[in-house]
Structure 1
């Protein structure tokens, strides 16, 4: 008897798409780890968020008042704006933690439905969505690790004492080796924590969009199979089950819209500002032949651009998938079904005709068209600043 290899898929849990993000949020104390000590979580959260989330950007802002030229202003602004934006996103996660738990509950309902049906195409679509979401976290993590490592490399090869990033401290670190080492250790710890926060903050919007798209894809497969039973009453029951799942998806979409509206708008505005500041800083470093600073500026520019591109890309995928779901309702085997089947289908079609989009600030849709417009606007502002240089 020939040996047949059976590929066993792991148990479906689409909330694992944001598993890494929840670990970061638990580590930094803004959500509580299940079964952990509440007092310890509170103490850890207060210490980390006081020393890093609050104090870290204050040293950046204070340094703006001690810059000596426009080049230093551009270098400091690019870091300061990014850090403040990251902390605002972090605060948004804390404010929206109840909504994040609601998303987990809805995903559990949708996962149970997919497991009970057991269709391989549906399960494959959902597992792929989880895989892509976790990969996006790793991509952002790699970018932040590379940037932090490059900052450390600049300090190591510097001919004089420099900090990991431009910041102001009330200690005279230039004349005291002990103070200098203490500040470097604090900055390295701060950069590590901020890199973790930034990685989670920047990758959780596309992760939620990706998993929502995955559930739309799974529902599309399910809807296309409607009408295959010879007993029409069973087809009617299956349609109602699909409509129930579609309602869960709409609720999921509404919660994600609420969570991402403000941080996405802030991301667009701040990314445009950072791109201009980084671009000018790169030109200044090119004039001074500072190669390491030029490379760091390029990495910074690519990172802030990638943040906007990824969220717009996944928003655009969700819109395309919602249109595919609409087509699935149209092309199911409805013409030979019961009148009540057709009536419910018409009601569902009326809602499905509205494309599923996430709007930044409830105004700008997260699509690739919006990304192109933002890049064009940023380039226009940059050319004006370049003439002023």
Structure 2
């Protein structure tokens, strides 16, 4: 019998369900649980096979920084199960960054027969909010802002099903039990549900400025090809020259306006989904978007809400929801107070953002690799490792 303690990015990435599955595959008895400094596993045997599969198949967003294995003499039930998290001990855990929507969730999102078809908050153990919703460790639903939403019967059934991708997915939800979206206009009109997305797209096409509550804060959206509205945005944000970031529908759209290498495309499509600085290919994007600059800051849609909007437009300005020089807004009422003189319409949701994050900004440079200009969503709160001796 062995007690294994694992530290690293091992909570909020589907690590316990992953451990459960490989132990079931190997017919190992024991248990797994979250602790305040990682994950603890007790196995009845087959240590070498277990460790081999652990490193070969670990979830893509996970990272094992330290692993300790010792023989144990504990009472063990027959079978393998997930135990309640261990609350005692000193907190010493890497909190998982937020993860862009995965391919499996995208497929469900597009499937008319799926119960989460076009659901703005679809997620699973492989993707979705992490750092932005967590209050405390360990990463369990009651320690996140998802505690405000009680799982419906079907979501609960998936949560308890070892064969489901949402087995122990802490942020899992659906139309029946999860967060909702709505828009508010300056005239007081409110539109709820998916119709709100249609109204947002209509407003963008009409030359209006939209404030959208996203994953880690508010974005400001408008049509980059409408120079009058871009000028208006610069005036309202008091941002005369600084480039605006763009969100583009997909890689094919990016290639219409920018040079994009295979390595750059891999960064754009990675689970971190940063803004990537790409060299302009032509002058089809108006100069006012990124004046006196040979590069455009580009990102792909990384949340279901973004996907709903980008289904109907190819390119939007997608810049931080703040006044020039101030922090990004992330609370509904504060955003209304501080952004009403910038935006014409607001898209809100009621999943609380606990920790705000802005979009990370990266450039790929030949010979140097990835250069990070702003380290935020997708990277924080992970530490930066320095290559030096103590």
Same fold flag (TM > 0.5):
no
Q: TM-score range by the shorter chain?
A: under 0.3
Structure number, greater radius of gyration: 1
The TM-score, its normalising length taken from structure 1, stands at 0.23
